[in-house]
Amino acid sequence: MKEKLIFLGIETSCDETAASVVREKADGTGEILSNIVSSQIDEHKEFGGVVPELAARAHIEKIEIIIKKAVKESGINLSNLDGIAATAGPGLIVCLTVGLNIGKAIAGSLNKPFLAINHLEGHALSPKISNKIKFPYLLLLISGGHTQFLEVNGVNNYKRLGTTIDDALGEAFDKTAKLLGIEFPGGPKIEQWAKKGDENYFKLPKPILKIGGCNLSFAGLKTAVLKTSKILKNEKEKYNLAASFQKTINEILYEKTKVAMKVFLKNKENKNKFFVIAGGVASNLSIRNNLTEVAKEKNFTPIFPPINLCSDNAAMIAWAGIERYKINLIDDLKFSSKARWPLDSSAPFMKGAGLKF
């Protein structure tokens, strides 16, 4: 197989239109030659959340421009690409279809291999772009739509250890921000507000903290924030609630991560004590510091993707394409988009199903 594979990645699973060209380096890590991301914040701001039809329309308008820009910035001729990778799920079907179809069209016209990528696998493998990490490793995936502890045994080989039984962590951040009157997308601004507040001012619940293994729940916490938000007297108390919320999240993650590490190490073959944290919420510095502390306490090596690779991007899709291509996991052009696509297909569907308490 050719060394230094070069892939074009395309990502349109939600409200980011993205394209990237990534080249494999001799040491097994990756070199990002271009990574273009076009946000749709302005399109969705007035609605307080992502509107699928508007997102899809914006993708259609931007995708060709974004891909051309990524290719030009990379300095790579299309004919020199070794493959095309596009996100096929999970996500919003109307959005996924845009990137998936143009990825197929480019691959078909150039007669290049096409790889349909699971967005979650893109996150799971993204730290390997800039870090030499051996399988297996423990992964905490925290994003707007997902919160999971996973045992990463290899490319296309994942075992879910725990997940949220209701809301994803990123969703809890966004809903809290909305209750505080923070403009969409508000999740990232919680961290800024928290710096101005007293984290001990409000006592908030930590659902299933001591039960359910390393499964998590944030719905009860979100309800408590809703009730508390109705009795706030001034701006300072808003900052206090943001700080108290973030502290509570950190305490939950601290305890649940310790449980996940214990479960991970029960498998005697798991000798690599790498703890990878990926997904959009991994860009929160308070959460990074908190998870670094628990990793050190349990003698794990904490590994985070660079901040710009935490949120949705196409570099991680291109890299996942390279990783899958190397073990001959190539797809045909009939591959369909998937709204739901778990990394561990044997794990039970959540929302409370199949959990042990």
Q: Taking the domain 6-130+308-326, which CATH number applies?
A: 3.30.420.40
Specify the domain boundaries for CATH 3.30.420.40 within the chain. Answer: 6-130+308-326, 137-304
Position 227 confidence tier, pLDDT thresholds 50, 70, 90: very high
pLDDT at position 167 is: 94
pLDDT at position 351 is: 47
The reply to whether the predicted model has a pTM over 0.75 is yes
**Topology (CATH) of 137-304:** Nucleotidyltransferase; domain 5 (3.30.420)
Please say if the pLDDT value at position 121 is more than 70. Answer: yes
User: Mind listing the pLDDT tens digit for each residue in 150-165?
Assistant: 999 999 999 999 999 9
Mean pLDDT of the region 318-329: 98
Please say if the pLDDT value at position 352 is more than 60. Answer: no
Position 349 confidence tier, pLDDT thresholds 50, 70, 90: low
Query: To the nearest whole number, what is the mean pLDDT of the chain?
Result: 93
pLDDT at position 350 is: 53
Three-state SS annotation for the chain:
CCCCCEEEEEECCCCEEEEEEEEECCCCCEEEEEEEEEECHHHHHHHCCCCHHHHHHHHHHHHHHHHHHHHHHHCCCHHHCCEEEEEEECCCHHHHHHHHHHHHHHHHHHCCCEEEEEHHHHHHHHHHHCCCCCCCEEEEEECCCCEEEEEEEECCEEEEEEEECCCCHHHHHHHHHHHCCCCCCCHHHHHHHHCCCCCCCCCCCCCCCCCCCCCECCHHHHHHHHHHHCCCCCHHHHHHHHHHHHHHHHHHHHHHHHHHHHHHHHCCCCCCCEEEEECHHHHCHHHHHHHHHHHHHCCCEEECCCHHHCCCCCHHHHHHHHHHHHCCCCECCCCCCCCCCCCCCCCCCCCCCCCCC
Mean pLDDT of the region 127-155: 95
